[in-house]
Amino acid sequence: MGDVVSSHLDEGKREMITVKTGDVMRQFSEVYKQQYTVALFNCVRYEIEGGGGPQSQLLHRKDPLAGRSIFSGNLFQYLEENRKWRNRFVSVPNNYSINLYESKSAHERSLHPKVTINCAGYKALTSIEDYIELIDTSLPDVKAKLGSSPFIRCATQFPLILWHPYARHHYFCVMTEKEQQKWHAVLQDCVRHCNNGLPEDCTVQTPAFTDSVRLHRQAKGHYGTWDMMCGTPPQILANLVMEGLHPELRNAIGPRLKGKMQQRQRDWMFISDAVYRQVLAQTTNEYDTLLVTCNAQKVQLDTRLRTDMDQVITSKEHVSSKIRALVLPKAESLLKRSVQPYINSILEALMEPTSRGFAEVRDVFFREVVDISKNLLNGGDKERLGEHMERLSMLAFHPVKMKSCYDNVEELNLEGLQQRFEVSSPSVFVSRAQILMREQMDNAVHTFEQLLQQSLAGQGENDMCKIIQGCQDRVLKKYDYDSSTVRKKFFREALLQIIIPYMLQQLAPSCAPELPRFKELIFADFSPFLLVENIFEEVVLQSVTKDIMMAVKEAAVQRRHNLYRDSIVMTNSDPDLHALGENPPVDWATKFGNGQPEVSLSGSGDFEGDSGKRRKQVVSMIQLDGVPLPYESCLEVPGVELIPEEDTVQSNDTEEQAQGNECKEPKSPDSVEEIRDLINPVMEVVLPEEAKSDVSNRSVPTLSSITLEDGVHGEMSQVTPLVEDVPLESPQEKKSPQSMLQQLVGNTKQEDDKEEAAIKSAINEIELAVQEGDGEQTTEVCAAKADLSPQPPLATDSTPNDHPQSVKDSPKSQDSLIEPVEVDIVLAAEEHPSATLTL
């Protein structure tokens, strides 16, 4: 690998790359210094004049992920050095970088990771076919044949690939489809977060940087959205350099690459990664120097602005009127001819998937709160409330639970409009909408937490379900208003991002030559703050803003997508709530727990590099029984015979098994089926082969009371035997039906004569049923106790006729099981009034 890079990137080419990068950075720096003063002027003017949009109804958290990590677990990584797969422990901290360690112990000892991946600009793939399609674009003259394999062979059928147009690709694989889906959601969240690297609270640097990048690309003839506007400013600048440098190097180096098609693709990836790392190092240093230079002048410029703000504003209005007289007639003509007919189409394409996504956010929040109420209704206490709220507090940052919301926006399609308005892809708008959805979910959760804490402090804890319901209703009303406000703002910004570059491109040939003469109208002292190019763009923006606002307003009036009308304004509607906005987030584990914050949702926390303190983890790890994990780092990926097939995985991949090793304490059920499983636990009764002809495929109806080992009284309503090959015992060793029932339910003493009579009745019925086919043979019943949940039964809407689900709980050493049949035990204890235990 090193030989390939060094042979094609000699000192001459590296010097050329340095010169090209320096040229781009000098051009960018000139534009940035001008835009920095303009952004400072706009910031100070906004601060003085005030204004802004509607007030948010939901509360905000400043640092919701403090003390948290996102995910950790084991992956198989493909190592380029020896072309082999190795097991790696992966940790995703709250900055969404991906840290790969040699083993879990190395992570726990706070050692430096082997690899750290910043996911900005990457795409997370789960298909080798999709990866081949993307990698074929890296060298246009080198195409893979149909059905050909890439230069790596995945160790399992569940790959995970991180693809980047310039940087090195990363290859992983997992053992099951469930793991693949969970890891893919985590990787997508890492990409989404890292792409959104420009902080909005930097009211000077962020607008100055984005405008500078846009103007720099426009000077090169590139209008419209840009997919690689992602990551931190140095990363975006590296992408800006590579946009022009990459094709040039590819044309120079590509024909000189030797070997087969896969080898040439692989070699070019190494070369491209080396170039990208060199460019990124240079852009990082030069951008830091640029920031120091601009920040050194900020105080002086701020003082001048505050002194002469009125004169600067007057001068700008005067120049704007002159430019407006030149530009407005041409802009209106272009608007009527080529823009207005398409505004509603663009808006509809944006609104449909985005509104579904925000509606799904509302539904997910509603379901999570309802689950908390159901669990508390069935015997919960303060400690259980703390556990539920601890999980709810991180709902917005749980990639798996939020995936259904994000998937709705992924369907956004601008087909037919992209070519006309030069929109490279809708990914820019998809990513932005998903970030807004996550923010709204976290705002709703944080507001619910504050309201619930206030209500519990004022009303006590006697009727927590009623208090939760009241808080939920208040939050949902505020979410409806805020989500409408956020969506309308998103639609307006998206329309501007699509339309304004198109209009600028169409108007530039006729208007750009006229702009320099307007510079003479600006005083020299005010020239740093007033640029005719920016004023020209503002005039174009103003010409189309009215039509965009009208289109969004009409959509709100129609109420097709649950948008509030602009006439509905909520300001200070809940002053008590906004008074809670300054309160710190609630630590539910400490407030309602045992005083000790819970270490991790999965029992495996993340560690901070310096302090070594455990962090709580947002997403649980996957640990499947029967899967050979974890491996030691010295071992390679297991052989194919150890990799379970998909049907095998599905048979063992229930939610209880997937999370069985994660957390020992009872957890809230995630679905109606899980609630029914808790109400109707399942037990298997295994009969010997002798009884197969007698009782196979027949259920034995019974109804009798039993007492389990934990003291719970119940009724056994139905017995459906499961036949298995069991060696027959001698007649002396055969057990009586009474001893078989004692083995089933445990050797416990009955509390009264009434229970003894009920058990004898059950024994007689079992004897009659077993001996019905062959009265001379005695059937041996091998019973396994059901793992009854210690918590009371959960309230559900299921009826007694609901068919119970069968759960296998047999030892791993058994070779096979014949299809299980069912035994229903209806519990009649006071604390289990209507529960059905299904065997």
Structure confidence at residue 651 as a pLDDT band (50, 70, 90)? very low
Q: Summarize the confidence of residues 599-620 as an average pLDDT.
A: 49
HSE-up (13 A, CA, CB side) for residue 59: 25
pLDDT at 595 over 50: no
Give the range among 197-201, 204-208, 320-324 with minimum mean pLDDT: 197-201
234/141: higher pLDDT: 234
Structure confidence at residue 83 as a pLDDT band (50, 70, 90)? confident
Segments in 109-232 forming alpha helices (H): 128-135, 177-195, 205-219
Measure the CA–CA gap between 784 and 796, rounded to whole angstroms: 27
Residue 480 pLDDT: 92
Give the range among 48-62, 122-136, 269-283, 569-583 with minimum mean pLDDT: 569-583
Q: 744 to each of 401, 754, 786, 820, how far by Cα in Å?
A: 40, 20, 10, 17
Residue 806 pLDDT: 41
Q: Give residues with Cβ within 8 angstroms of 112, minimum separation 6.
A: none
pLDDT at 272 over 90: yes
Residue 1 pLDDT: 52
Give the range among 184-198, 587-601, 639-653 with minimum mean pLDDT: 639-653
Structure confidence at residue 602 as a pLDDT band (50, 70, 90)? very low
Q: Summarize the confidence of residues 417-425 as an average pLDDT.
A: 78
Residue 762 pLDDT: 66
Residue 323 pLDDT: 93
Residue 793 pLDDT: 42
Residue 570 pLDDT: 58
The CB density around residue 582, as the number of other CB atoms within 10 Å, is 7
Residue 611: helix, strand or coil by DSSP?
A: coil
Residue 366 pLDDT: 94
Q: Summarize the confidence of residues 673-697 as an average pLDDT.
A: 50
Q: Summarize the confidence of residues 176-201 as an average pLDDT.
A: 91
422/306: higher pLDDT: 306
Q: Summarize the confidence of residues 376-393 as an average pLDDT.
A: 77
406/768: higher pLDDT: 406
Contact criterion met (CB below 8 Å) for 681 and 787: yes
Measure the CA–CA gap between 37 and 298, rounded to whole angstroms: 8
Domain boundaries, the chain: 2-43+203-558, 672-838
The CB density around residue 701, as the number of other CB atoms within 10 Å, is 12
> How do residues 797-839 score in pLDDT, each as one tens digit?
444 444 444 433 443 444 444 444 444 444 444 444 444 444 3
pLDDT at 646 over 60: no
Q: Summarize the confidence of residues 310-330 as an average pLDDT.
A: 93
pLDDT at 587 over 90: no
Residue 242 pLDDT: 95
Residue 791 pLDDT: 45
Q: Summarize the confidence of residues 428-457 as an average pLDDT.
A: 91
> How do residues 462-477 score in pLDDT, each as one tens digit?
777 888 888 899 999 9
Contact criterion met (CB below 8 Å) for 402 and 438: yes
Please name which of 442, 434, 356, 359 lies closest in space to residue 395, comparing C-alpha atoms: 442
Give the range among 74-83, 269-278, 446-455, 698-707 with minimum mean pLDDT: 698-707
Average pLDDT, the chain: 75
Contact criterion met (CB below 8 Å) for 823 and 836: no
Please name which of 776, 769, 696 lies closest in space to residue 734, comparing C-alpha atoms: 776
pLDDT at 703 over 70: no
Structure confidence at residue 145 as a pLDDT band (50, 70, 90)? low
Q: 58 to each of 193, 445, 561, how far by Cα in Å?
A: 22, 9, 20
| Four-point Cα dihedral 57, 348, 122, 66, nearest 10 | 10
| Four-point Cα dihedral 671, 673, 679, 680, nearest 10 | -160
pLDDT at 129 over 80: yes
116: β partners? 99
Q: Give residues with Cβ within 8 angstroms of 686, minimum separation 6.
A: 722, 723, 724, 726, 781, 782, 783
pLDDT at 297 over 80: yes
Measure the CA–CA gap between 351 and 118, rounded to whole angstroms: 31
Output the six-digit token pair for 175. 């053992």
